[in-house]
Amino acid sequence: MEAREVQNSLALLRTKRGLGAAQLAAQVGVSRQTIYAIEAGTYVPNTAVSLKLAHALDVTVEEIFQIEVEARVSDDIVDAVVLGDIESMEPGQPLRLCNVGSHTVAVAPEPGGLGLSPSDGVLLTPIHGAKLHSNAKVQVLSEEWKKPNRILISGCDPSVSILAHALQKQGFELVIAYENSSRSLELLQDKVVHIAGTHLSDKVEGKTDLLPITTMFGRNSVVVISYAVWQEGLITAPGNPKNISAISDLAKENIQIANREPGAGCRRLLDDLLQNDKINGAHVKGYDRVVVGHLPAARMVRSGEVDCCISTEAVARALGLHFIPLVQKPYQLVIRRAQLSLPPIQALIETLGRSSFRREVESCTGYMMRTAGDPVV
């Protein structure tokens, strides 16, 4: 039987029992890579290994492995909380779905790719609602989204796609809502995401500003986990043709910038640096040109529409742009303590601590990942 014909719940069961892949591999007598291959569905073990897995996990073989059946096409219509740029959404908009507590949440896939992203449903009705999110009717395409192996993260870090890929290998799905730090915390407060990513920090370089978190959430109701320390700075065209080197250069007559939306960590950094240099934002061309997201702002630099924006070194690397570092900032993940026991969240935290995952993110982004997965005091 081919691997694609067999589904398995190995990652879910392993995580539920608190076993690492290496621990389970040692008990069964196979390599850790074999465990990951089984969980990813690329390898179906023989009878002996299947029985050993069942014994180690104290379940039946049938609880681990199931014959794959074609996903049932659904004609369901659900009421969903829709996240993202809701004002620009029209009926027919593809959406990904996720259960978050008592909410069904819908997220539009990130635009900008050359192909269409997988979707679980399409928007049926126009949206007229709140700034952050609104309820709408969604036509469901299949039942796959209802599986408990799916969680929803909100944040602005582009490298979260690497984390999603790592979790996918373990049988879990990470749905991503690209939102700025402030909005992500508000969505977590509204209980419509599982995890919020934030890089809000105070004016002391490298020190986390926990004040928004402590004021928004009850005592001991959330945990804050370190993800990365990254460089934030000025992004310019390759070769830096306008010779931009400092914040003060943004006030020059021949410099146009793309600014981030209020609430974004990069917007907050720009405002702090302009204030330090006693520069009025009204004297910076493009200060009122608001762009939502790290990558969209940097793409404007790449296209030549603007000369500069503030973003991360990782974004500059991804688009082949020039980067002038200004400060180091921590990026954290905030999770409700009541949801820590969910198997996908346990798997996510375990993945953050793996040296192989840390090396991959560091190599691709330049982030410092030494403390990834550690609790933030």
**Domain holding 165: CATH number?**
3.40.190.290
Q: Token digits for 293?
A: 């997201």
On the question of pLDDT at 203 being above 50, the answer is no
- The residues near 168 (Cβ < 8 Å, ≥ 6 apart) are 40, 174
| C-alpha span between 98 and 144 (Å, rounded) | 10
How far is residue 2 from each of residues 42, 68, 77, measured CA to CA in Å? 9, 11, 34
* Residues 190, 230 within the same domain: yes
* Residues 56, 173 within the same domain: no
Say what the pTM is.
0.75
Where a domain ends, among 67, 84, 117? 67
The structure tokens 């198997």 sit at 343
pLDDT number for residue 90 = 84
On the question of pLDDT at 38 being above 70, the answer is yes
pLDDT number for residue 3 = 44
Range in 27-31, 113-117, 173-177 with the lowest mean pLDDT: 113-117
On the question of pLDDT at 189 being above 50, the answer is yes
On the question of pLDDT at 207 being above 60, the answer is no
118 falls in which pLDDT band (50, 70, 90)? confident
Q: Give the CA count within 13 Å in the CB-facing half-sphere of 159.
A: 27
On the question of pLDDT at 205 being above 80, the answer is no
pLDDT number for residue 36 = 84
pLDDT per residue as tens digits for the range 230-269: 999 999 999 999 999 999 999 999 999 999 988 888 998 9
Q: Token digits for 34?
A: 């074999």
Average model confidence (pLDDT) across the chain: 87
On the question of pLDDT at 327 being above 70, the answer is yes
**β-strand pairing of 6-8 with 65-67:** antiparallel
Give the residue from 159, 158, 224 showing the smallest Cα distance to 185. 224
Most confident of 8-22, 147-161, 199-213: 147-161
Helical (H) or strand (E) element with 210: none
Range in 92-96, 135-139, 202-206, 278-282 with the lowest mean pLDDT: 202-206
* Residues 174, 300 within the same domain: yes
Mean pLDDT (whole number) for 369-377 = 89
On the question of pLDDT at 362 being above 90, the answer is yes
Question: Containing domain of residue 23, as a range?
Answer: 3-67
Q: Is 57 helix (H, G, I), strand (E, B) or coil?
A: helix
On the question of pLDDT at 51 being above 90, the answer is yes
Q: Token digits for 62?
A: 């049938």
pLDDT number for residue 39 = 83
* Residues 265, 188 within the same domain: yes
| C-alpha span between 275 and 268 (Å, rounded) | 11
Residue 306 in contact with residue 257, Cβ under 8 Å? yes
Residue 298 in contact with residue 311, Cβ under 8 Å? yes
Range in 18-32, 208-222, 231-245, 259-273 with the lowest mean pLDDT: 208-222
* Residues 236, 130 within the same domain: no
* Residues 289, 313 within the same domain: yes
229, burial (CB in 10 Å: exposed 0-12, middle 13-18, buried 19+): middle
Beta strands in the chain (DSSP E): 6-8, 65-67, 77-83, 94-100, 103-107, 121-123, 133-140, 150-155, 173-178, 195-198, 222-236, 257-260, 290-291, 308-312, 322-336
* Residues 110, 16 within the same domain: no
338, burial (CB in 10 Å: exposed 0-12, middle 13-18, buried 19+): exposed
Q: Is 256 helix (H, G, I), strand (E, B) or coil?
A: coil
Q: Token digits for 132?
A: 């952050």
* Residues 116, 168 within the same domain: no
pLDDT number for residue 353 = 94
> Looking at residue 28, which CATH number applies to its domain?
1.10.260.40
pLDDT number for residue 116 = 67
* Residues 96, 240 within the same domain: no
* Residues 166, 218 within the same domain: yes
Mean pLDDT (whole number) for 216-242 = 92
pLDDT per residue as tens digits for the range 71-82: 454 568 999 999
On the question of pLDDT at 1 being above 50, the answer is no
pLDDT per residue as tens digits for the range 140-178: 988 888 888 999 999 989 899 999 999 998 889 999 999
pLDDT number for residue 258 = 95
Structurally, the chain folds into a number of domains equal to: 3
Where a domain ends, among 144, 169, 187? 144
Where a domain ends, among 109, 144, 179? 144
* Residues 314, 229 within the same domain: yes
18 falls in which pLDDT band (50, 70, 90)? confident
* Residues 160, 39 within the same domain: no
Residue 324 in contact with residue 245, Cβ under 8 Å? yes
Mean pLDDT (whole number) for 11-31 = 89
Range in 196-210, 304-318, 333-347 with the lowest mean pLDDT: 196-210
Query: Would you list the DSSP string of 119-182?
Result: -SEEE-S-----SSEEEEEEEE-BSGGGSTTEEEEEE--TTHHHHHHHHHTTT-EEEEEE--HH
Give the residue from 355, 346, 7, 372 showing the smallest Cα distance to 151. 346
